[in-house]
Amino acid sequence: MQPVTIPPKALIRQPALCQWLDLSRSGLDKLRKKDPTFPKPIKDGDTRQAAAYYVVAEVDAWLRAKIEARDAV
Instruction: Enumerate the β-bridge partners of residue 53.
Output: 13, 42
- Per residue in 1-36, pLDDT (tens digit) is 566 676 768 999 999 999 999 999 999 999 999 999
pLDDT at 52: 94
Whether 44 shows a pLDDT value over 80: the answer reads: yes
Q: What is the pTM assigned to this prediction?
A: 0.82
Q: With respect to residue 31, please indicate whether it lies within any of the assigned structural domains.
A: yes
Tell me whether residue 2 is in a domain. Answer: no
State the sign of the Cα–Cα–Cα–Cα dihedral 33, 11, 58, 21: positive
Expressed as residue numbers, the domain containing 67 is: 11-72
56 in any annotated domain: yes
Structural domain contains residue 52? yes
Contacts of 8 (CB under 8 A, 6+ apart): 57
Is position 17 within any domain?
A: yes
Q: What's the Cα-to-Cα distance from 52 to each of 15, 22, 45, rounded to whole Å?
A: 9, 17, 9
